[in-house]
Amino acid sequence: MVGMTNIRGASRINRDAGFSLIEVLLVVGIMGVVTSAAVVQIGASRRAMQGDSGMRVVLSQLNTARELAVSQRRYMRVAFPSNNVIQILREDTPVTTTTLFSIPIEGGIQFVLMSGVPDTPDSFGRNAGVDFGSAVNVKFGPDGTLVNQDGVTTNGTVFVAIPNLTLTARAVTVLGSTGRVRGYKWNGKSWVLA
């Protein structure tokens, strides 16, 4: 009889060891809610990362132009020939240039002003997506400063974003007297340094 009791007790333990259908459905339901929340968050983060990527391309190209101007002791012109391309051109003579880089910004990012987004804390201008005041063209000099076509020091801002998506707004400012390049992110309320 003792052996029978153990067998019956063991079968009861095996029967109680699994999960009920309700428990499994509850776990699957919770996993579904968490997964859907993650998908929504990833979608929003993806747009922000695209904005960051566009800003980093502009930062990189402006810093590259400045470094080339200083290292090669030549003027390096920065041009924005379309709404998502940035170029670096070396001035070989006052009238001839050589295009060194022509970089498109991907992910739907454009040089654009976003309505409702104010100027950056540097306050270098908010008249266009690429705003260097009245400068027709801008270039970094051999001393690292940013000047206009007449050799006058100029400041400016390049605004980038995916059109109509305010949280992708980014800005890159250049302080002409030192050539300092700085990036900003729009967080929905204010600009913060990148």
Question: By mean pLDDT, which of 39-53, 54-68, 74-88, 145-159 is the weakest?
Answer: 39-53
Which pLDDT score, from 0 to 100, does residue 45 have?
Answer: 78
pLDDT band at 36 (very low <50, low <70, confident <90, very high): confident
Judged against a pLDDT cut of 60, whether residue 33 lies above it is answered with: yes
pLDDT band at 160 (very low <50, low <70, confident <90, very high): very high
Q: CA 176, CA 144: separation in Å to the nearest integer?
A: 9
| CATH code linked to domain 17-193 | 3.55.40.10
Which pLDDT score, from 0 to 100, does residue 10 have?
Answer: 53
Kindly state the tokens that stand for 160.
Answer: 């980038």
Can you spell out the DSSP letters for 34-78? HHHHHHHHHHHHHHHHHHHHHHHHHHHHHHHHHHHHHHHTS-EEE
Collapsing DSSP to helix, strand or coil, 67 comes out as helix
